[in-house]
Amino acid sequence: MSRNLRGLSGRTGPVNGLYEEIVRAVTEDHEKRDERLATLSGRFMTGKSAVLGVSSFYDFLHAEHIGKKAFVCDGTACLTSGKQASVRRELLGSFAESEIGTVSCLGHCHSNEAVLVKGEVVTAGNDHLAGTLRTDSNIDRPALLVTTGNIREYYSLAGRFLKEPDKALNELVNSGLRGRGGAGFPFHIKVRSTRDANAAQKYIVCNADEGDPGAFSDKWLLEERPHSVLFGMLMTGLITGADTGVLYIRGEYPLAVRLAREAVRAIEKEGIITGSEGVGEFRFRFHVVEGSGAYICGEETSLLNSLEGLRPEVRTRPPFPAVYGLFGKPTVLSNVETFANIHFILKEGGKTWASYGTERSPGTKLVSLDGAFNRPGLLEVRMGTSLRSVIGEMGGGTRYPVKAFQIGGPLGGLVPATKIDDLTLDFESFSHEGFLLGHASIVSVPEDFPLIRLLEHLFKFTRKESCGKCFPCRLGSARGVELLSDACNKGEKIDRELFDDLLETLQTGSLCALGGGLPLPVKNALQYFSHELDEYFTARKQQQ
């Protein structure tokens, strides 16, 4: 069924496709929503139920969202900062309670004071956020923090590889670049697989649906260095033979959407991607798509389904996107930071970039520090840098006592403050110690913040953001909320064996990392903070 719908949707391609038409139908005239959706159904030869199913999936397309005027961030960093109540009180000076909603994360975890008002991210007092985000690095020549300068000169680097794209691929191999979205999969394998796929049409898709509360590295790159991202997509297209790149940016980042579109217009105006000037006769088309509020679209196959106008549910794999991706065509799909590294790799050499990190975790990594730090902001650090150095020296330590750091988003590990001397910032160190590097976002958990509330928050987040396709995630997250809420609010004990079974079911039975990743921080909490959590659980039965 999905393949049939995918084929129908793919007739128009990614520009003004079914997804964007559904968004327009719902948001431009909500009162005529059903009538307009029915028209779309006929136009795309898709069943009404399929179109309605898509329109009801996204947070931003719900009637209650459209009726709100201001939105408070309820991400993990804002929750643990303790600022949500004061932010809401400030908003109540300008809006009625019924006019205030919530969003999962606005990417201002370094300030914890941002709200979304009329499509703009501002402070709670309705003044636009002032100042720039602090950036720092422990590298003499950073790969990502440097400015792009003159765009014609910047993109001219692609001309070196126009007739020999395999040389560019070899540099990616030499670099050992691993995906920076969390999974750490070798990027060159995706590129080679799509290059070798036999298809007349191929795509490059940038996953800019960075929804991990605590992470704002992709947001910064899209707003401050959009050409580094576009160049990486362009070069990946040159290597693989793809002529179209789609940049899917989460709707909670309206400025990033606007600036990315301006960057595309700038290189189109300069003739850089039209073949008239810039990259020889190579032509490449970019299309920027704005998301509508769905964390699950950060999962690559859900994102592809979203672009196709299908419900953004997780696909089973194989086949993988590199051979069966957007509209069923070979697709290189990677995240913002991954693409942004390609210019430096091709200019300075893959081995030079690799030397910035370790043998198995080469290169650099962007790290997001939340508002608890004395020096919050964005860091570009060498892979292999000690976590103590990142937190204590580059971040200046925290403004108040912190007992744990959640690193890698809401599904990332919960690192006790006592463990930071045992970790270095790389994939292997975190995995070996039972944690997850992920996006390398660092959210601080204050000493006085109840961990049982944090666990409840993580289960609620998963329940809300689950695509619903697999039972373990959809039902397991809801069951976890019930157990934890009853323990928090009613004083009921949680059966520890039942809870352990629930975590095992989520971890082994979920189709993607949303349900499958949730048990990690929960298990970390139970392991390292049993003195705080034991009172909420029954004792484990003794083994016979």
C-alpha separations of 199 from 322, 325, 476, 530 in Å: 11, 12, 40, 54
In the chain, what percentage of residues exceed pLDDT 90?
79
- Select the more confidently predicted residue: 55 or 277: 55
**Taking 90 as the threshold, does the pLDDT of residue 274 lie above it?**
no
The per-residue b/e assignment along 169-188, b for 16 or more CB within 10 angstroms, e otherwise, is bebbbbbbbbbbbbebeebb
Average pLDDT over every residue of 529-542: 89
DSSP for 374-434, written as a single string:
SS-EEEEEETT-BHHIIIIIIS--BSS-EEEEEESSTTSEEEEGGGGGG-BSSHHHHHHTT
Task: Specify the pLDDT at position 7.
Answer: 72
**Taking 80 as the threshold, does the pLDDT of residue 23 lie above it?**
yes
Task: Specify the pLDDT at position 351.
Answer: 98
Give the whole-angstrom CA distance, residue 305 versus residue 10: 11
Residue 211's nearest CA partner among 461, 42, 452, 17 is: 461
- 543 pLDDT band, cuts 50/70/90, is low
Residues 69 and 90 in one domain: yes
Task: Specify the pLDDT at position 12.
Answer: 76
Residue 234's nearest CA partner among 273, 183, 180, 186 is: 273
Q: In this structure, is residue 136 part of a structural domain?
A: no
Q: CATH number of the domain that 512 lies in?
A: 1.20.1440.230
Residues 182 and 216 in one domain: yes
| Domain total of the chain | 5
Nearest 5°: the CA angle 384, 387, 393 is: 110
Residues 36 and 171 in one domain: no
**Taking 50 as the threshold, does the pLDDT of residue 544 lie above it?**
no
pLDDT tens, residue by residue, 198-228: 999 999 999 999 788 899 999 999 999 999 9
Give the whole-angstrom CA distance, residue 266 versus residue 284: 14
**Taking 80 as the threshold, does the pLDDT of residue 4 lie above it?**
no
Q: In this structure, is residue 275 part of a structural domain?
A: yes
Give the whole-angstrom CA distance, residue 211 versus residue 298: 7
Domain span holding position 37: 2-56
Average pLDDT over every residue of 153-167: 93
Q: CATH number of the domain that 297 lies in?
A: 3.40.50.11540
In the chain, what percentage of residues exceed pLDDT 70?
96
Residues 110 and 8 in one domain: no
Task: Specify the pLDDT at position 56.
Answer: 92
Burial of 470 per CB tally in 10 Å (0-12, 13-18, 19+): buried
Q: In this structure, is residue 132 part of a structural domain?
A: no
Q: In this structure, is residue 401 part of a structural domain?
A: yes
Residues 291 and 203 in one domain: yes
Mean pLDDT of the chain: 92
Q: CATH number of the domain that 398 lies in?
A: 3.10.20.600
Pairing of strands 364-369, 331-335: unpaired
Q: How many CA atoms lie within 13 A of 517 on its CB side?
A: 24
Task: Specify the pLDDT at position 104.
Answer: 87
- 28 pLDDT band, cuts 50/70/90, is confident
Q: Please give the model's pTM, rounded to 2 decimal places.
A: 0.95
- 6 pLDDT band, cuts 50/70/90, is confident
- Select the more confidently predicted residue: 17 or 348: 348
Average pLDDT over every residue of 417-421: 97
Q: In this structure, is residue 210 part of a structural domain?
A: yes
Domain boundary among 398, 414, 446: 446
Residues 6+ apart with CB under 8 A from 108: 73, 114, 121, 129, 216
pLDDT tens, residue by residue, 358-415: 999 999 999 999 999 999 999 999 999 999 999 999 999 999 999 999 999 888 999 9
Residues 323 and 387 in one domain: no
Residues 187 and 292 in one domain: yes
Residues 199 and 303 in one domain: yes
Tokens of 224: 């401050």
Average pLDDT over every residue of 462-481: 95
Q: In this structure, is residue 128 part of a structural domain?
A: no
Tokens of 101: 């909603």
Task: Specify the pLDDT at position 125.
Answer: 64
Give the whole-angstrom CA distance, residue 514 versus residue 346: 34
Residues 463 and 415 in one domain: no
**Taking 60 as the threshold, does the pLDDT of residue 1 lie above it?**
no
- Select the more confidently predicted residue: 380 or 130: 380
pLDDT tens, residue by residue, 174-204: 999 999 987 789 999 999 999 999 999 999 9
Q: In this structure, is residue 319 part of a structural domain?
A: yes
Residues 231 and 208 in one domain: yes
Give the whole-angstrom CA distance, residue 354 versus residue 360: 9
Domain boundary among 383, 416, 446: 446
Tokens of 381: 């650090």
pLDDT tens, residue by residue, 116-127: 998 888 877 655
Residues 190 and 332 in one domain: yes
Q: In this structure, is residue 264 part of a structural domain?
A: yes
Task: Specify the pLDDT at position 98.
Answer: 92
Residues 41 and 189 in one domain: no
Task: Specify the pLDDT at position 482.
Answer: 97
